[in-house]
A = this chain, B = another copy of it.
Amino acid sequence: MDELKIAIAGLGTVGGGTVKLLHQHADLLTARTGRRLHLVAAAALEKPADLPLDGVSFFTDARAMARDADYDVLIELIGGANGVALDVVTAALGRGRHVVTANKAMVAHHGLKLAEQAEAAGVTFGYEAAVAGGIPVIKALREGLAANQLNQVYGILNGTCNYILTTMRESGREFSDVLAEAQALGYAEADPSFDIDGIDTAHKLTILTSLAFGTAVDFDKVHIEGIRHVSALDIRSAEELGYRIKLLGIARRTDAGIEQRVHPCMVPISSSIGCIEGVFNAVVAEGDFVGRTLFEGRGAGATPTASAVVADVLDIAAGRRTPTFGIPATALAPLQTAPMDNHHGAFYIRLMVRDRPGVFAGIAAALRDAEVSMESILQRGRAPGETVPVVMTVHDTRERAMRKALERIRAIAEVVDPPHLIRIEAF
């Protein structure tokens, strides 16, 4: 029987899961493709004892494997935008071999160049596993919804952040407390910055933007805010207002260009995206013919990610080809982003103010002067002379007007901290 020779670089969590899947489902995968998927080589710093690697050539140097081993497909699961990961991928494509990766950082930073290299060589550069783990959302955007012009794509793309925000809501506890617990449980990294500061979400969003709008991936043009400043009070206020707080990556077509932004959002509790809780991810794509579609599943972990990695390998084995980002890489347009100042929407603002008569009047005047229309304002608790939180919401307005209003509010003597702002999305 015809076989497809596979080399795998990186045998960590996802690499181990992928080896196990290829081993456990060998017959199923052959039934689906008519070919035997044959793991011929693997590279890691140390050979794990618990993986079925009998008869597999083992390398401690992934670069040497990429250069010297005899394979049809290289699976890159080392991670990191540059370094070894980029070297082995470049080497494999340079040899005219297919590449499959789960490496969102690499695709976000070098996706255009790698797509050009793969397409020039007539091979596949697959990255289904790089976005939203096991959810086949790359395939959905690139093939399933390919008859549509997409108007927006957005999603919960980081399970760690969604777990933290869900746990904050369920327990009423503060961010730092829940983060520490998530770290202890292994749901968050020792250095959590990539997740909680929105970088990981931004990596994934650049890929979705490219697929949705036919533009070159451009990580430098993402507006990024993380979730460190979301407080238990914000979560409680959101609930009372009928919202949930989610870290979203949003790519949206507007008259001023494409918005590409990552930040905490208030979304209606009753919306599809508002229902997604815990470590689950979800991506919403809105097309001109299909309307709104949503794809939900586990966004990380060994087995969901392995499912996506092997799905790409199956496409290669079956000879199914799609341009890397939906249209040929040479045809991708430069990304023209809309300035954040131009964003139009509703806002939630949290202030710390000294509880004195006349504070509300000052805030209301500041909003009026910036031509921002207030929807609600609420002082949380009463403590004359002390500092108390005030939360308010404003109707749809330009972000530049909102910023101007916040500057004026900050100048009020009774306002003691910089105001915190969370955008409201009325999905």
Contacts and interface: CB of A to CB of B under 8 A. Distances in A.
A321 B318 contact: yes
A289 B303 contact: yes
Residue from A294, A320, A321, A328 having most chain B Cβ neighbours under 10 A: A294
Q: Is the interface of A mostly helix, strand, loop or mixed?
A: mixed
A134 B144 CA distance: 9
A259 to B, nearest CB: 21
Interface string A259-291: 000000000000010010000000000011111
Interface residues of A, number: 56
Interface stretch (A45-53, A234-242, A307-315): A307-315
Interface stretch (A5-13, A27-35, A197-205, A400-408): A27-35
B289 A306 contact: yes
A228 interface: no
Contacts of A145: 134, 136, 307, 311
Contacts of A289: 17, 21, 134, 303-304, 306-307
Residue from A135, A139, A148, A288 having most chain B Cβ neighbours under 10 A: A148
Nearest to A132: B293
B310 A147 contact: yes
A293 B276 CA distance: 12
A214 B31 contact: yes
How many copies of this kind of chain does the complex include?
2
A72 interface: no
A294 B276 CA distance: 11
A326 B21 CA distance: 18
Contacts of A25: 147-149
A147 B287 contact: no
B326 A304 contact: no
A64 interface: no
A291 B297 contact: yes
A244 to B, nearest CB: 12
10 contacts: A31-B214, A134-B290, A134-B291, A135-B293, A136-B145, A139-B140, A289-B304, A291-B303, A294-B297, A318-B321
Given A134-B291, A294-B296, 14 more contacts: A25-B147, A31-B214, A31-B328, A32-B323, A34-B328, A128-B144, A136-B144, A139-B140, A143-B320, A146-B314, A275-B275, A293-B297, A294-B295, A319-B321
Top-6 shortest CB links A-B: A136-B144, A147-B310, A134-B290, A293-B297, A290-B307, A294-B296
Interface of A: 17, 21, 25, 28-29, 31-32, 34, 128, 134-136, 139-140, 143-149, 214, 272, 275, 287-298, 303-304, 306-308, 310-311, 313-315, 318-323, 326-328, 331
